Amino acid sequence: MFSRILLLACALSLAACNVTPSSTAEGVEAAQASGELPVRPGLRDYRLDNGLRVLLLPRQAPGVELRLLVASGSMQETAEQRGLAHFVEHMAFKGSRHFPGKSGLQALEREGISLGPDINAATRFNSTLYKLSLPDGETDLALRVMADWAGQVSFEPAAFEAEREVIVEEWRMRQGVGQRINQQLEALRYADSDYRQRDPIGDLEVIRHAPLRQAQAYYRDGYQPQRMTLVLVGSFDEDKVRKAIHQGFSGLTRGQAASAAQPAFHGGTDLRVAQVFDAEQSQRLLQFALQRDLAAPLDTQNGQWRDLIDALWLSVLDERLDLLVERGGFSSAGTAERSNLLDARRAQYLFLLRLRDDDLTGAAERLFTELRRLAIQPVTADELTSAKHRLLDKLQGQAAAQERYAHQVLADGLADALEYRMPMFDKRQQLALTEAWLPRIGADHLRAAVAELLQQASPRLAVIGPDSDAGRFDDRHFQAVWQRALASQPGAFALLAGPRALELAQPSSGSLSDLPGLGTVGAEQWRLGNGIRVIVKADASLQDNVRLELRQAGGGSLEDEDQAGQRHWAIQLAERSGYGAYSPRQLARLGDSLGVRVQPFSESLFHGVRGTAPADQMEALFKLLNLKLTAARFDAGQLDALRQRMADDLQRQPAERRYMDAINRGAYANGQHLVSDPQGPWRHFDVAQLAGVHAELFAVRPGMTLVVSGPVDLAQLRTLSRTWLASLPLADSVQPHWRDRGVRPLHQAMSEVYAWSKSPKSMVSVLYSSPASWRREDVLALQMLDQIASLRLRQAIREDASGVYAIGFSQLLARLPSPYYLARLNFTAAPDRAEALAVQARGVIQQIAEGGISASELQQARQTLLNEQRQQRRSASYWTEALMQVAMTDGDFNALAVEPEQLRALDLHTVNRLAAQWLGRNPKQFVLAPHKLSERL
């Protein structure tokens, strides 16, 4: 795969390498005294004699993440090599000296390590990054494979020729309205720079025709050990790993090729404008960017000091834009939390406005004026204090949770820190540094920073909208607006911010009674006085933040035809109107600073609320949950805006969305319930109606269940449950139930072609279905068949036929409202090959149905799923969802505990019986094709 740009906000900071401080405070104090930034404790940093750098970060949690960062990407290509950096990345998986052909990939897959989630790579402008994720500490095979990627790729001619069209198909797969718009935005972003026309996917003519020797030359010059860094994060034997690294990598010969010149941006300070209009774009947006070279790299104290000041004024501006949104200035507006890095030397400050109307120049002028105001008027003491508190609140939450960060997050962060010259301190060290510096920053620092930015930056404005806007605007008008704003003298900002803390009157506590524990899954449960059942899995080893879900049966299934979508609209209107004394943007700012999210939902059979928060923000999480259950607001103006946006979106639906709607209508009985009707009842919903629906939706009734998973304190959670949930009144004693609206796949064959696409690709989707009964063991067997079918399809359609970049196959054994079997096979291909590839792919599925799978395939799939299960079970997200599914169905929690044993016990006969019973039944093929011949080429 390829990656164009890293939009980092210095969120994971990591860096230099010879000091391991004994404590956070000592490290920060020592670093400040020396002028250096502190270094993450425990990080080992050394070089081999040939110049290859190694970073080792031992941790306690199981699993290991490996990264090989090569400081060569598309910018290191010659004109004749454009696209070959990415091509070389592909060839690493096609054979090497010690792992001919696909034997290296196959060896990893036999260990249950899958291509895609566990084995991957990405090519950027200035780097190529290889990734391996291991379920345990056995690193020998992975290091040997990675050492071959670093210097022993074979470049077999037949494999090279076969991969050409695969890369073309990778380019093709991404085509669509999003890509058309992004290409124009990137052209604006990189205008007047050396990055222009250096997209890592490259030149298709080069990809199709470049001689093999050009790829080999790029590999020889770009893949030299002094240009590489190897990163390992996780639980491993350090002595063993160091020996394996020396054995595998020290034989690479240090190269002599000179380093290429640092890419540069050459643009001046005049406003550049791009008008980006598309027939499938419904909303009007303004994307404004200010670019400049960094005054100091981010891995220096000066760079971090400036970055901290930037974070503060951006926070103030974001709050001011929110206030303008609330006053009707924009539909929505926002800024990035920090500047984004285009490379290690270039920063971009990004601002996005969504308009209520078509007054694009007026919206631009309001944004430009606010930037100018910050440059000449100091922010108020209250604004500065609030911005500092928001920043500290967020960092404190991150510092408290850093031991639970997944290895993958830290490994990717280290690789990014190396490429973009970011610091390598951990979150506690970053917090300590921030606490030391914040008292020294005043309003004049912010004003001076913005003034300097406006003086030095290269401004770039993208005007985005439907194609009906083309020709309405003159670039020179926007340029005049910018110049006028820069010369203006706006006064102090007049709007006052609302509440900046979540302050709710504490209700009287309700009662709570314990229920029998769920020991097999390590969970406790109790029932509140109003009937809400609470299930809690308190586990300090779970890696992510606390996950919460409150669920009730019903959802959209309870809507009559003339009410279709009513529950979703009621939730959306409340989210856009606010809750209690808080506007939507105030709640969003509070949530961002604390890391707390609470999102109501309504699905086909269930509705409720999902939430997440750091473990030290449980009170804020429960307060926000209570607020959204009890104090929704409903604004008529927001309903009008929702209705208009819905109409615009449906009028200008992208072809891909129309295609999915056509599949849902055609492949399912009562499929109209799965799509939005342009003439549906949503056009006539009113505020009072939706307010009543919302009140009914979130009233407490029997059967309502709350599940919480994560590193929580059980005693605190019991108190919070009694205070913020048990106090809610019971609406009535009738337990609601979902209704079966008869939505299920049609068990018949069919074929349809829709010539709607505006892109040079065909999308193919084949659905298989059959009546079925539901058994948990069958679900596990189908998951193994997914793995095997996907591998066979990849071999036949990608490797042998060079017809696709990716092909997906997944199966579902539905349980509610009535059981059925459903499978989906999806891929994107060249229009002139789509039908033949579809026939071949269906043949692969039929072959499994008729001939079954082998014992070796079963064992490999079993190992892969066991690895996935181990990883999933370290996540609070997994446990909240899994416990809720059981609680709302059969209540068999023991089945969750014994799933790994059930997976190990599944035999070949059982899996092949299911394959014969269900695979390949009732194929329904749907193709989205280009609507013009010129778009088929």
In tens, the pLDDT along 819-874 reads 999 999 999 999 999 999 999 999 999 999 999 999 999 999 999 999 999 999 99
4, pLDDT greater than 50: no
Task: Give the pLDDT mean for 669-689.
Answer: 96
Reported as a single tens digit per residue, the pLDDT across 759-782 is 999 999 999 999 999 999 999 999
63: left (phi over 0), alpha (psi -120 to 50) or beta: left
Q: How far is CA 818 from CA 743, 745, 772, in A?
A: 9, 11, 9
DSSP code of 725?
Answer: T
Reported as a single tens digit per residue, the pLDDT across 25-52 is 555 555 555 578 999 999 999 999 999 9
Query: CA 417 to CA 74: how far, in whole Å?
Result: 19
Reported as a single tens digit per residue, the pLDDT across 94-138 is 999 999 999 999 999 999 999 999 999 999 999 999 999 999 989
Could you check whether the bond before residue 378 is cis, i.e. omega within 30 degrees of 0?
A: no
Reported as a single tens digit per residue, the pLDDT across 345-389 is 999 999 999 998 889 999 999 999 999 999 999 999 999 999 999
Q: How far is CA 657 from CA 46, 277, 317, 651, 904, in A?
A: 51, 19, 35, 12, 40
Query: CA 899 to CA 883: how far, in whole Å?
Result: 13
691, pLDDT greater than 80: yes
User: What confidence score (pLDDT) does residue 259 get?
Assistant: 63
Residue recorded with tokens 């997914």: 786
Percentage of residues in the chain having pLDDT higher than 70: 95
One of 3.30.830.10, 3.40.1360.10, 3.40.1010.10, 2.40.50.100 is the CATH number of 42-249, namely 3.30.830.10
User: What confidence score (pLDDT) does residue 34 get?
Assistant: 59
2, pLDDT greater than 70: no
Contacts with 832 (C-beta within 8 Å, 6 or more apart), sequence order: 936
Percentage of residues in the chain having pLDDT higher than 90: 91
CATH of domain 746-935: 3.30.830.10
Query: CA 113 to CA 358: how far, in whole Å?
Result: 51
Contacts with 837 (C-beta within 8 Å, 6 or more apart), sequence order: 764, 797, 801, 803, 804, 827, 829
H runs (alpha helix) in 807-937: 834-851, 855-872, 876-887, 894-897, 899-905, 908-918
Reported as a single tens digit per residue, the pLDDT across 885-925 is 999 999 999 999 999 999 999 999 999 999 999 999 999 99
Query: CA 651 to CA 443: how far, in whole Å?
Result: 47
H runs (alpha helix) in 21-139: 24-34, 84-91, 103-110
15, pLDDT greater than 60: no
- Domains 42-249 and 746-935 belong to one CATH topology: yes
pTM of the predicted structure, to 2 decimals: 0.94
Collapsing DSSP to helix, strand or coil, 120 comes out as strand
User: What confidence score (pLDDT) does residue 358 get?
Assistant: 86
288, pLDDT greater than 60: yes
User: What confidence score (pLDDT) does residue 256 get?
Assistant: 79
926, pLDDT greater than 70: yes
Query: CA 868 to CA 808: how far, in whole Å?
Result: 18
Containing 314, the helix (H) or strand (E) segment is helix 301-326
785, pLDDT greater than 70: yes
Query: CA 123 to CA 569: how far, in whole Å?
Result: 42
Containing 480, the helix (H) or strand (E) segment is helix 475-487
Which of 732, 716, 739, 726 lies closest to 533, judged by CA? 726
Confidence of residue 501 (pLDDT cuts 50, 70, 90): confident
Q: What tokens does 843 get?
A: 């043949």
Q: How much helix, strand and coil, in percent to the nearest 5, is found in the chain?
A: 45, 20, 35
Residue recorded with tokens 């160091």: 242
DSSP 593-641: HHT-EEEEEE-SSEEEEEEEE-GGGHHHHHHHHHHHHH-B---HHHHHH
Query: CA 263 to CA 265: how far, in whole Å?
Result: 7
512, pLDDT greater than 70: yes
134 CB-side CA count, 13 A: 24
Which of 378, 379, 368, 380 lies closest to 487, judged by CA? 368
Task: Give the pLDDT mean for 262-272.
Answer: 91
Reported as a single tens digit per residue, the pLDDT across 593-630 is 899 999 999 999 999 999 999 999 999 999 999 999 99
One of 3.90.79.10, 3.30.70.120, 3.30.470.20, 3.30.830.10 is the CATH number of 272-487, namely 3.30.830.10
Average pLDDT score, the chain: 94
Collapsing DSSP to helix, strand or coil, 497 comes out as coil
One of 1.10.10.10, 3.65.10.10, 2.60.40.10, 3.30.830.10 is the CATH number of 512-724, namely 3.30.830.10
Query: CA 937 to CA 928: how far, in whole Å?
Result: 15
Query: CA 667 to CA 746: how far, in whole Å?
Result: 6
936, pLDDT greater than 60: no
Confidence of residue 12 (pLDDT cuts 50, 70, 90): very low
**Strand 750-757 vs strand 762-771: parallel, antiparallel, or unpaired?**
unpaired
Q: Where are the domains of the chain?
A: 42-249, 272-487, 512-724, 746-935
Tell me which amino acid residue 642 is. Answer: L
Tell me which amino acid residue 700 is. Answer: V
DSSP code of 380?
Answer: P
216, pLDDT greater than 60: yes
User: What confidence score (pLDDT) does residue 33 get?
Assistant: 57
15: left (phi over 0), alpha (psi -120 to 50) or beta: left
User: What confidence score (pLDDT) does residue 25 get?
Assistant: 54
Query: CA 937 to CA 932: how far, in whole Å?
Result: 10
